[in-house]
Chains A and B, each alone.
Chain A
């Protein structure tokens, strides 16, 4: 069945470091792909999305490119800040209504 695999956390980086959080998926067809972020004590917020192969989603300095050939949607940011500390979830849209989620990756940014 459809699934999403994310790199395990926590990922700990220093401020201004380059970030990559890996996400790969297994699915039939070409699902839409999403990154959600959950800040401490808050809900799940859509960070970015891509709906077809080679699309690049971007928001708040974060980027991810939908790679059909490697079935990946890795999240990147060139220079992270302490305020980026959160849990990041990769997800795919399996049907008209349903999201399939990765396990989440906790990101810790140290000043």
Chain B
């Protein structure tokens, strides 16, 4: 069964450093997403991406965050200057259509720890 692959599985970074979280969505999917889950809290939507541009973003997704599809397979989330409160599990997802009909396929997540 096709999978969404995320790397690394765990990243530790110092406050103020830039991090890039990587995702390889399912090859025939057209919509891509990032969610995060701070420990003990709900999963939160960050951003969706379609046709090489952001289609929707949440209030969390401020200027410190950016997304990119640098080639035909990868989808990345960059945090420019990490803060302690960015520590969370970050999930990438993709969908063939707009999610509601086809559902979303999630990766296993990247645990980001900011120290």
**Interface size bucket, A side?**
20 to 34
The number of A-B residue pairs with CB atoms under 8 Å apart is 63
Q: Which of B67-75, B76-84, B106-114 contacts A (4 or more CB under 8 A)?
A: B106-114
Nearest-neighbor residue (CB-CB) of B103 within chain A: A46
Stretch of A10-18, A20-28, A69-77, A94-102 lying at the B interface: A94-102
A13 to B114, CA, bound (A): 37
A44 interface neighbour in B48, B50, B91, B98, Cβ under 8 Å = B91
Cα of A101 to Cα of B38 in the assembled complex, Å: 13
Which residues, 25 to 75 on A, are CB-close (under 8 Å) to B?
31-32, 34, 36, 41-46, 49, 51
B108-A43 in contact (CB<8A)? yes
Q: How large is the interface on B (under 10, 10 to 19, 20 to 34, 35 or more residues)?
A: 20 to 34
B55 close to A (CB within 8 Å): yes
In whole angstroms, how far apart are the Cα atoms of A46 and B106 in the complex? Answer: 8
Q: Mark B88-110, 1 if CB is under 8 A from A, else 0.
A: 00010100001111011111110
Chain B residues within 8 Å of A102, by CB: 42
- Establish whether residues B42 and A51, one from each chain, have CB atoms under 8 Å apart when the complex forms: no
- Among A46, A95, A101, the residue within 8 A (CB) of B42 is A101
What residues make up the interface of B, taking CB atoms closer than 8 Å to A?
4, 6, 31, 33, 35, 41-45, 48, 50, 55-56, 58, 91, 93, 98-101, 103-109
A and B contact pairs by CB, cutoff 8 A, 14 listed: A34-B103, A43-B4, A43-B109, A44-B91, A46-B105, A89-B43, A93-B100, A96-B56, A97-B56, A98-B45, A98-B56, A99-B35, A99-B45, A103-B41
Interface set of A (CB-CB < 8 Å, partner B):
31-32, 34, 36, 41-46, 49, 51, 89, 91, 93, 95-104
